[in-house]
Amino acid sequence: MTSEASPTLEVQDVVKHFPLPGASRLGRTLRRIDAVSGVSFAIHAAETFGLVGESGSGKTTLARMVLALETPTAGEVRVHGLVLGSLSRRPLREARRLVQPVFQDAFTSLDPRMRVGPIIAEPLAAQHVDTRKQRRAHVIDLLNEVGLAPDVAHRHPHELSGGQRQRVALARALALRPQLIVADEPVSALDVSIRAQILNLMNELRRSHRLTYLFISHDLSVVRYIADRIGVMYLGKLVELGPSASVYSRPAHPYTAGLVRAVPTTDASSTQRRATRSAPVSEMASPTDPPSGCRYRTRCPIAAERCTTTEPTLRSVRSGHLVACHFPLDAPR
């Protein structure tokens, strides 16, 4: 079934539409949200892929399809070559074991009435792994791996700090020895000092367990630390894709360039008060009524006639670095 050659995750031409309530007539949907509109990428074993974009760009919907929590309207999500949408219940459960989630807010993703021990053991029980006694020993090992003391197993989530709760969420995700961890904004709710600790831990775990991450965040500076490759999403489309160093140092899409500039830094130039700033102005267009042509054109400083009429497709600007823009920055014309 699974072959060595196939990537850990393949997302191919994935589309997801959500009908708007009250907007169907005679079974025909009149208005819908185009959350994801034809996205393709692959993540190979032991690679960390960072998916960046603003709220509403479709990155969370994509994550939910990878976790088999949503079914794509069109296209395929393959985990180790298995097409998630085509699986019957039993193989789907097996595939789910391979892909585990870590969410933004561990406080809402951990059951407040359960103690930490059972929370971490629950996926093992659900997949019928080990006896109860073995599971208990396993929990202690997992706590140790995420840097928590064994006695944390007896506490409730509300007795823990935000950073500790996110460690518990990681321990739970690791319990089934998954191949792919889908982390959706895992550090966005944390203080900067705690954020660094969790990112360091994720990097350690990645090395020790040969994990593959799909790491989703709206914050480029966070993704920068963890991702080997980065995909930038805008309004349901992948607009740029490439090795992180290349995307950061020479962004080719005007949107990515704006995101890079919006990162607060303390470089000498930016500590000048009211230095000129050029973060993207205005806000994203609506996914119920995306602009014609290039979807970013309504905010783009260099948009031209062609951007209104023709939708740009992903093409290579440098080795392994793709961009969907008619006028890529820093490119020979």
User: Out of 61, 100, 244, 256, which residue is the one contacting other proteins (CB under 8 A)?
Assistant: 244
Is residue 251 within 8 Å of 260, Cβ to Cβ? yes
User: Out of 140, 196, 314, 329, which residue is the one contacting other proteins (CB under 8 A)?
Assistant: 196
203 binding other proteins? (CB under 8 A): yes
User: Out of 79, 95, 222, 307, which residue is the one contacting other proteins (CB under 8 A)?
Assistant: 222
Enter the tokens of residue 153. 């197993």
Half-sphere exposure of 77 (CA within 13 A, CB side): 24
- Contact stretch for other proteins (CB under 8 A) within 136-144, 242-250, 312-320, 323-331: 242-250
259 binding other proteins? (CB under 8 A): yes
130 binding other proteins? (CB under 8 A): no
Smaller CB separation from other proteins, 23 or 83? 23
21 binding other proteins? (CB under 8 A): no
- Contact stretch for other proteins (CB under 8 A) within 6-14, 140-148, 241-249, 307-315: 241-249
User: Out of 71, 86, 108, 200, which residue is the one contacting other proteins (CB under 8 A)?
Assistant: 200
228 binding other proteins? (CB under 8 A): yes
171 binding other proteins? (CB under 8 A): no
Residue carrying structure tokens 């031209």: 304
Residues 269-328 that bind other proteins (CB under 8 A): 270-275, 277, 279-281, 283
45 binding other proteins? (CB under 8 A): no
| CA gyration radius, the chain | 21
| Minimum separation from the CB atom of position 251 to other proteins (A) | 11
| Minimum separation from the CB atom of position 291 to other proteins (A) | 16
329 binding other proteins? (CB under 8 A): no
Beta bridge partners, 18, equal 33
224 binding other proteins? (CB under 8 A): yes
Smaller CB separation from other proteins, 121 or 160? 160
151 binding other proteins? (CB under 8 A): no
Q: Under the rule (CB under 8 A), what is the footprint of other proteins?
A: 48, 54-56, 161-162, 191-193, 195-197, 199-200, 203, 218-222, 224-228, 244-245, 248, 258-260, 262-266, 270-275, 277, 279-281, 283
